[in-house]
Each structure stands twice: as C-alpha cells, then as structure tokens.
C-alpha cells in the first residue's frame, strides 16, 4: 500500500522535498503557513516565494494551510520549517496519533527555546520514539535539486527499515540516497556546519583567500567531531558525505545562506542589516547561541564556534576576532 506524506513548511527545502516525493508518490499533502501561498500554488502550480521554476502536478500533491489535517491524513511527516519557527509552529498543537507517525526532520538548526536539536524536541514534546524520528541530511542544496543537478542525500534513523523506505521515496534520476543510524551525530553536524559556513563567509568578507579557507574548514570538521563525540560518544566516520561533505558544500557554495550571511558580516554589515537584506533564514545565527549554551555542559574545544558567537552576539570586531582565531588553527 502506498504511503502518504505530509510536508510541513513553505521554504526552499520544503519545495525541493515536495519535488522529490512527487517523483515517486501521488499522495502528498503540503502545508504552507499562508493561505495566499496555497492559493497561488493551486492556481499556478509553483511556490510563489521559493524555487519558482519547480512546477507541480496537482494530481499528486494537495496544498493546504490546515496543519492538523495535513498531519493526521499522512503516514510520514516531513518537517522543513526553519528552526527559529519550529516552536511557534507547534506550540500548543494538538493532533491525535502524532506519536504514532513517522517524523523526518529537514530542519537545519537548533530549536532555540529548548537549546535542542529537532529530534529531541519532537521526542520530548510529542512523545515520538527516537526510532520513529529520521533526519534528512546532505550534502545538498535545494537549489540544485530544483535544477535537477546530481545530488546526494543521507537519511538517518535508528530503524534502518524506515531510513531505507524514505531513501527510496526521495531517490530519483538526479538524487542518490544513502542511510545511516546516527540521528544525533547527523543532526548536530548539520547544525554546526551552518556555524562553520558563517565563519567561512566572515573570512571571505575580510579578504582571506583559499589557502586560509582550507585550514579553517579542516579545523572545522575536527571541531564538529569533538563536539558531536562529547554529546553522543559513538563511533562515526566524519569523513563521510553526511558530515564532511555537508560541511564543504555549505561552507563553499554560492547557494549557502550561512556563508552569504557571514560574508556580509565580514564586509561590515550589522547582524540586523544582513538579516534584513537576506530573504531566507541563516540557521547558523540561531544555532551558534544554542551550541555555546549547550557546551557549558560538555566543555568541548570549539574555538571557531565561540569566535562566531562573539562576533554575532557580543559585537566583537570580525577583524579582531579572526586575528585571534587564526593563531588557534593548524
């Protein structure tokens, strides 16, 4: 029997996931916050705000702004809301049987109200077992999926049969998929790579070249490994695509919102000015505050994260902070 899917969110990742699911399923519900976006999608068959080149077959997908109905009518719920709005979206939400759903998170950040990865938020808030929570990770940009450029996704879940089922649902001519059991490491790494991309952007904005960027990012993957190993000490190979690959594409790509945000900070924009100029959320801005807070417990060595935090939240000059940071790198 064909599974039914609900996509929660209206951004670029939600749009890309909708495109992939519609390649293999004709039973997809898509929740968008604004009724005007739903109406536009029904009338013109594309998202009015993100990845507008993607055209949808309305025989396969049903747009709606009724969150409860979308979730209750589905077997698998894919959540692609920006992390800063997850708590707001689900605060006070009542849905019969949500704990029996399979949840896949495509959220690339920390839920700031909880200082928590999304998997833990949904486990604690809605009593969803961890073996029914999955993570959709890269290395991948939604923009390249829209362009049908060859892309790779990692589907992580403690229940490998669920991971394999979702991997099959998303795989298509231009998307290859693999699976992992490491939901905590995959998700925390996906959070931290956004912070590292902000650092990369700041350094680019300050005029540092490719040689320094190579050193920065090689230190960044080791920093991610140290923190993830403190939080969830199991064996993992951080050189694999879900970790190192995801970091590289986010730190270097022209499509990276976090690198773009960092580049603006490095060029002298204030945080507020950079946020106003960008039309999308830079998840790393919210994530860095939560990771620093979490690290009060774990005490991992995370100098790049701490430098980004001081620049963004303590308003330390990027010139001064990166000068101090570069002497800590090797």
Give yes or no: residues 302 and 236 share one domain. Answer: yes
Give the integer Cα–Cα distance in Å for 330 and 321. 17
CATH number at residue 225: 1.10.1040.10
At residue 107 the predicted structure's pLDDT band, cuts being 50, 70 and 90, is very high
Q: What is the pLDDT of residue 98?
A: 79
Contact 283, 191 (CB under 8 A): yes
Give yes or no: residues 290 and 315 share one domain. Answer: yes
SS3 annotation, the chain = CCCCEEEECCCHHHHHHHHHHHHHCCCEEEECCCHHHHHHHHHHCCCCCCCCCCCCCCCCEEEECCHHHHHHCCCEEEECCCHHHHHHHHCCCCCCCHHHCEEEECCCCCECCCCECHHHHHHHHHCCCHHHEEEEECCCCHHHHHCCCCEEEEEEECCHHHHHHHHHHHCECCEEEEEECCHHHHHHHHHHHHHHHHHHHHHHHHCCCHHHHHHHHHHHHHHHHHHHHHHCCCCCCCCCHHHHHHHHHHHHCCCCHHHHHHHHHHCCCCHHHHHHHCCCCCHHHHHHHHHHHHHHHHCCCCHHHHHHHHHHHCCCCHHHHHHHHHCCCC
Give yes or no: residues 177 and 272 share one domain. Answer: no
Give yes or no: residues 206 and 138 share one domain. Answer: no
Give yes or no: residues 124 and 15 share one domain. Answer: yes
Domain boundary, last residue among 137, 159, 181: 181
Domain boundary, last residue among 152, 181, 210: 181
Give yes or no: residues 144 and 254 share one domain. Answer: no
Give yes or no: residues 155 and 272 share one domain. Answer: no
Q: Which residue has the higher pLDDT, 230 or 93?
A: 230
Give yes or no: residues 103 and 206 share one domain. Answer: no
Give yes or no: residues 16 and 162 share one domain. Answer: yes
Strands of 76-79's sheet in order across: 61-64, 28-31, 5-8, 76-79, 102-105, 133-137, 151-157, 175-180
> At residue 184, does pLDDT exceed 90?
yes
Domain containing residue 225: 185-326
> At residue 243, does pLDDT exceed 90?
yes
Q: What is the pLDDT of residue 128?
A: 94
Q: What is the pTM of this model?
A: 0.93
CATH number at residue 136: 3.40.50.720
Give the integer Cα–Cα distance in Å for 41 and 30. 10
At residue 254 the predicted structure's pLDDT band, cuts being 50, 70 and 90, is confident
At residue 114 the predicted structure's pLDDT band, cuts being 50, 70 and 90, is confident
Instruction: Give the pLDDT confidence of 271-295 residue by residue, as tens digits.
Output: 999 999 987 789 999 999 999 999 9
Domain boundary, last residue among 155, 181, 207: 181
Give yes or no: residues 177 and 266 share one domain. Answer: no
Give yes or no: residues 139 and 35 share one domain. Answer: yes
Instruction: Give the pLDDT confidence of 5-29 residue by residue, as tens digits.
Output: 999 999 999 999 999 999 999 999 9
At residue 258 the predicted structure's pLDDT band, cuts being 50, 70 and 90, is very high
Give yes or no: residues 53 and 110 share one domain. Answer: yes
At residue 95 the predicted structure's pLDDT band, cuts being 50, 70 and 90, is confident
Number of domains in the chain: 2
Contact 44, 52 (CB under 8 A): no
């Amino acid at each position: 029997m064909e599974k039914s899917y609900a996509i929660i969110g209206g951004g670029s990742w939600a749009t890309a996931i909708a495109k992939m699911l519609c390649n293999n399923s004709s039973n997809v519900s898509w929740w968008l916050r604004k009724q005007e976006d739903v109406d536009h999608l029904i009338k013109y068959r594309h998202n009015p705000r993100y990845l507008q080149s993607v055209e949808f077959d309305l025989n396969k997908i049903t747009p709606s702004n009724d969150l409860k109905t979308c979730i209750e009518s589905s077997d698998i719920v894919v959540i692609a809301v920006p992390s800063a709005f997850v708590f707001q979206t689900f605060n006070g939400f009542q849905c019969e049987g949500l704990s029996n759903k399979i949840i896949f998170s495509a959220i690339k950040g920390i839920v700031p109200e909880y200082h928590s990865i999304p998997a833990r938020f949904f486990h604690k808030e809605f009593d969803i077992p961890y073996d029914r929570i999955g993570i959709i990770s890269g290395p991948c940009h939604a923009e390249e999926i829209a362009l049908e450029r060859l892309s790779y996704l990692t589907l992580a879940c403690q229940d490998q049969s669920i991971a394999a089922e979702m991997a099959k649902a998303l795989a298509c001519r231009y998307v290859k998929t693999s699976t992992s059991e490491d939901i905590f490491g995959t998700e925390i790494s996906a959070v931290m790579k956004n912070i590292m991309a902000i650092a990369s952007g700041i350094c680019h904005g300050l005029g540092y070249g490719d040689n320094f960027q190579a050193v920065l990012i090689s230190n960044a993957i080791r920093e991610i490994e140290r923190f993830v190993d403190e939080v969830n000490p199991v064996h993992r190979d951080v050189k694999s695509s879900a970790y190192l690959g995801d970091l590289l594409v986010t730190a270097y790509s022209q499509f990276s919102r976090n690198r773009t945000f960092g580049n603006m900070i490095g060029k002298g924009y204030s945080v507020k000015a950079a946020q106003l100029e960008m039309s999308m959320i830079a998840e790393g801005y919210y994530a860095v505050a939560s990771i620093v807070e979490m690290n009060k417990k774990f005490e991992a060595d995370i100098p790049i994260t701490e430098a980004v935090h001081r620049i963004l939240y303590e308003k330390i000059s990027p010139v001064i902070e990166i000068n101090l940071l570069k002497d800590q790198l090797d």
